């Protein structure tokens, strides 16, 4: 296998590249996780994480992938036989549904076409029909990584309120946290699920449940068995900065640095940067004569752009050619869109120059793989960014 020089462009929609600052922060000796030194670290990350979720409520940190956080949300709030309403927005909503089903939960899966986010009106209509309040929870993926569509969480919260329904509200922000505006408290979310390897710019390995008082109350009365995922067992030692079992110590050092970096840039500036890069990417796709998978402009993802391949052209073949020739990894199509789309990640530690380099690789790859397209996508993205030079200037952080 030929050695490729230069940096590898990791442009999948997560895990995202880990900044040098975070790598250096994790490059520490492992410390005693029962020591006063660790308690200081524990307190700092448990409290610091709240600002990223925009909550004053507890944020529970598990040594796990986002899948573990999905399961924790389910087993701490629901009971076998409960009914939940979930929106089919793509591959990851489908996976969350499957986990709930395995735990004996009845999932009403509102059908979707994988090209849009969750429909607030459809959710409201179904909750209005549920006069007996048999639906225990509404579960939504905020940013559907498989499709590049975001769901309008504030509008879904309003839909639940309009229906006068007491259902818990659970939201997956695994790929949106720290990349897309999100407000756990303001939007009255009961459980927010997330992970370390996307907007937080960490390696995979830690996951999160941000929980409301209503969710904590549910965890004291539901009957789902759990041990490792038990919130109550986590919260007791968390009060002192500790964990009930061995934590991912060095990842917590990285989390401390990630929170510091987000505060320095300012969350509003982080969100604006992601939107700016996403808009430039869509300009490139349009100039190539290709089609963005997401059909609703109000739901375009700031995290990634999923691009439809022309008929009879295989996205995985294109990705293979592009990787081998230009040392860039692009996201594959998943589930129903496998082989039909490729995904360009523009999240985390990504700026204008990184994006232009990545889009250059995408465009050269289209030519190398023989994919029908027009040239000029990179120039279109550059023009979009150049037309927004004021927005590209450094900002004063908003803390």
Residue 7 annotated as binding site? no
Report DSSP letters for 315-372, one per residue. Answer: HHHHHHHHHHHH-EEEEEP-GGGTTTEEEEE--SS--HHHHHHHHHHHHHHHHHTT--
Q: Taking a C-beta distance cutoff of 8 angstroms, is the pair 144, 117 a contact?
A: yes
Q: What is the DSSP string of 222-291?
A: -----STT-HHHHHHHHTTT--SS---HHHHHHHHHHHHHHHHH-HHHHHHHHHHHHHHHHHHHHHHT-E
| Residue 47 to residues 5, 41, 59, 238, 261, Cα–Cα distance (Å) | 41, 10, 8, 10, 15
Question: Tokens 């004021």 correspond to what residue?
Answer: 390
Radius of gyration of the chain (CA): 21
User: What CA–CA distance (Å, rounded) separates 343 from 90?
Assistant: 14
C-beta of residue 224 within 8 angstroms of C-beta of residue 84: no
Residues annotated within the binding site are 343
Residues annotated within the binding site for substrate are 343
């Amino acid at each position: 296998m030929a050695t490729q020089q230069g940096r590898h462009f990791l442009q999948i929609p997560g895990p995202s590249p880990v900044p040098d600052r975070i790598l250096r922060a994790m490059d520490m000796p492992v410390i005693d996780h029962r020591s006063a030194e660790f308690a200081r670290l524990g307190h700092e990350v448990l409290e610091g994480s709240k600002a990223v979720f925009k909550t004053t409520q507890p944020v529970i940190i598990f040594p796990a992938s986002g899948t573990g956080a999905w399961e924790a949300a389910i087993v701490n709030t629901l009971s076998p036989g409960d009914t939940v309403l979930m929106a089919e927005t793509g591959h990851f909503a489908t996976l969350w549904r499957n986990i709930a089903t395995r735990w004996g939960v009845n999932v009403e899966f509102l059908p979707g076409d994988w090209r849009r986010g969750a429909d607030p009106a459809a959710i409201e209509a179904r909750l209005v029909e549920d006069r007996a309040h048999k639906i225990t929870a509404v579960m939504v993926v905020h940013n559907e990584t498989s499709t590049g569509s975001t769901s309008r969480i504030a509008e879904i919260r309003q839909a639940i309120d309009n229906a006068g329904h007491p259902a818990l509200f659970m939201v997956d922000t695994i790929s949106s946290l720290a990349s897309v505006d999100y407000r756990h408290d303001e939007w009255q979310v009961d459980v927010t699920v997330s992970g370390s390897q996307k907007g937080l710019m960490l390696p995979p390995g830690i996951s999160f449940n941000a929980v409301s008082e209503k969710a904590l109350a549910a965890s004291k009365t539901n009957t789902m068995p759990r041990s490792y995922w038990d919130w109550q067992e986590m919260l007791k030692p968390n009060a002192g900065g500790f964990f009930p079992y061995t934590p991912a110590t060095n990842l917590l050092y990285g989390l401390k640095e990630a929170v510091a970096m987000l505060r320095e840039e300012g969350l509003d500036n982080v969100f604006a940067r992601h939107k700016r890069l996403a808009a430039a990417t869509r300009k490139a796709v349009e100039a190539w004569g290709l089609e963005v998978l997401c059909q609703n402009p109000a739901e375009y993802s700031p995290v990634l752009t999923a691009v439809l391949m022309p008929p009879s052209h295989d996205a995985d073949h294109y990705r293979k050619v592009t990787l081998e020739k230009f040392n860039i990894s692009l996201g594959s199509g998943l589930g129903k869109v496998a082989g039909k789309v490729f995904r360009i990640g523009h999240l985390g530690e990504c700026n204008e120059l990184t994006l232009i380099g990545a889009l250059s690789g995408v465009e050269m790859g289209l030519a190398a793989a023989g994919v029908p397209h027009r040239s000029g996508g990179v120039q279109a993205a550059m023009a979009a960014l150049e037309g927004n030079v004021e927005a590209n200037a450094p900002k004063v952080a908003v803390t």
